[in-house]
Amino acid sequence: MSDWLRDLAFTWPFSAGSDEFIVVTWVVALLFGGVGVLIAVFVGEWLDGPVRSTLSGPSSSLSPSSSLSSVAVIARQERLTVGRLPVGEELWLLAWVRGGRRRLETALFVAGVRAGWIRTAGAQLVIVPDVEPADPLLAQFKLALHRTVMTAKHPVHAAGAELEGIMRERAIAAEVARPATRDSMLASLSLFGLAGLAVVEALYFAFGDTSRWSMPKVVAVVSFVLLGAAAFTMMGAAFALRQHRQAMAYTSWLTRNVDAVREDVRLGLTQRDEDIVLIAALDGESAMGETGERLGIAHVRSPHHGRVDTRPFMDRLVDGLKTQDGEPSPRGDRA
């Protein structure tokens, strides 16, 4: 054993008693854990690269205007650039990064109602077979709805689930979502601090003054290490593995810049498809207000947790192709 390791036993905190060392462990754990998470955050942002923005200089490409009846094409890696409103496929990307699959379903559903291939028929919403969406993802969503509407309990959710993989790939390609490998690597980094703590503890028990330690205290320290691992994993998920830097910057910028149109949609004062779908994608059906009522897609609040539940309107969906013969819909059978 080298001299410096023998000297370690007489150096604080390795010379500390059990009670003092437990307190030191907590402090060191917090510091090391925090450092680990910070490292993961910074590495994550560094890997994400700089935020794309037209605000600091002229745009590299002109952004086309778009309606839901025409498809705007924007290069994948130019999508969701700060300073530009989302058009065409960017709206679905926005919905996905903003609220995941549920938000995507809402945006696509609202777009379907606005485009006229989902229509109100009495108390039901009917998928109109003859109208073909120009947007590729909307077309896929309509096909998926046709497939799931008679079989799935919640057809919109089932159709949305079919698109989830596609959206994840698109988001990664557009550099607004992190690949799974990067997520895993950042999660490992966030545990880096805990490894430091384990080293400190190992050194203490190997060379420190453990004469006054009782078994319950040893158990307490070991348990703490395990609890710390769980806590920092969660912290890592909460901080380091947040959304992609570009997605966060874009949604934050957009949220601050749609006050007028958000109000117009809530009060039913706009009839522009792109405005209505934009707010559905950004804020969800709970922000649709009067426009949602008019579209027949009013949301209800669950009595539990005040959560917005979209099922009541989405589940009134039936397939126009299969109900044209006047047969009653099987809705009652599935309810």
> Rounded CA gap, 230 and 228, in Å?
5
> Rounded CA gap, 146 and 169, in Å?
24
Among the listed ranges 16-24, 31-39, 81-89, 167-175, the one in contact with other proteins (CB under 8 A) is: 81-89
Judged by beta carbon, residue 116 or residue 312, the one nearer other proteins is 116
Quick one: 275 exposed, middle or buried, by C-beta within 10 A (0-12, 13-18, 19+)? buried
Q: How far is the CB of 283 from other proteins (least distance, A)?
A: 13
> Rounded CA gap, 230 and 2, in Å?
35
Using CB under 8 A as the binding rule, whether residue 106 contacts other proteins is answered as no
3-state SS of 182-229 is: HHHHHHHHHCHHHHHHHHHHHHHHHHCCCCCCCHHHHHHHHHHHHHHH
Retrieve residue 146's tokens.
């046709």
Residue 242 φ then ψ, to 5°: -65, -175
Among the listed ranges 39-47, 51-59, 209-217, 244-252, the one in contact with other proteins (CB under 8 A) is: 51-59
Using CB under 8 A as the binding rule, whether residue 293 contacts other proteins is answered as no
> Rounded CA gap, 20 and 12, in Å?
10
Judged by beta carbon, residue 274 or residue 319, the one nearer other proteins is 274
Using CB under 8 A as the binding rule, whether residue 261 contacts other proteins is answered as yes
| Count of residues interacting with other proteins (CB under 8 A) | 21
Among the listed ranges 54-62, 164-172, 192-200, 327-335, the one in contact with other proteins (CB under 8 A) is: 54-62
| Residue pair 248/242 in contact by the 8 Å Cβ criterion | yes
Site for other proteins in 262-281 (CB under 8 A): 263-264, 267, 269, 275, 278
> Rounded CA gap, 283 and 95, in Å?
9
Of 258, 277, 281, 314, the residue at the interface with other proteins (CB under 8 A) is 258
Residue 322 φ then ψ, to 5°: -95, -5
Using CB under 8 A as the binding rule, whether residue 323 contacts other proteins is answered as no
Kind of pairing between the strands at 118-121 and 124-127: antiparallel
Among the listed ranges 43-51, 109-117, 132-140, 253-261, the one in contact with other proteins (CB under 8 A) is: 253-261
> How many CB atoms within 10 Å of residue 143?
13
Using CB under 8 A as the binding rule, whether residue 54 contacts other proteins is answered as yes
Using CB under 8 A as the binding rule, whether residue 257 contacts other proteins is answered as yes
Helix (H, G, I), strand (E, B) or coil at 334: helix
Using CB under 8 A as the binding rule, whether residue 70 contacts other proteins is answered as no
Judged by beta carbon, residue 71 or residue 158, the one nearer other proteins is 71
CA distances from residue 129 to 126, 307, 328 in whole angstroms, order as listed: 9, 33, 17
CA distances from residue 230 to 199, 224, 279, 319 in whole angstroms, order as listed: 18, 10, 37, 47
Judged by beta carbon, residue 65 or residue 69, the one nearer other proteins is 65
Using CB under 8 A as the binding rule, whether residue 23 contacts other proteins is answered as no
Among the listed ranges 14-22, 55-63, 117-125, 318-326, the one in contact with other proteins (CB under 8 A) is: 55-63
Among the listed ranges 57-65, 94-102, 118-126, 150-158, the one in contact with other proteins (CB under 8 A) is: 57-65
Of 58, 165, 216, 328, the residue at the interface with other proteins (CB under 8 A) is 58
Which residues of the chain form contacts with other proteins (CB under 8 A)? 54, 58-59, 62-65, 83-85, 257-261, 263-264, 267, 269, 275, 278
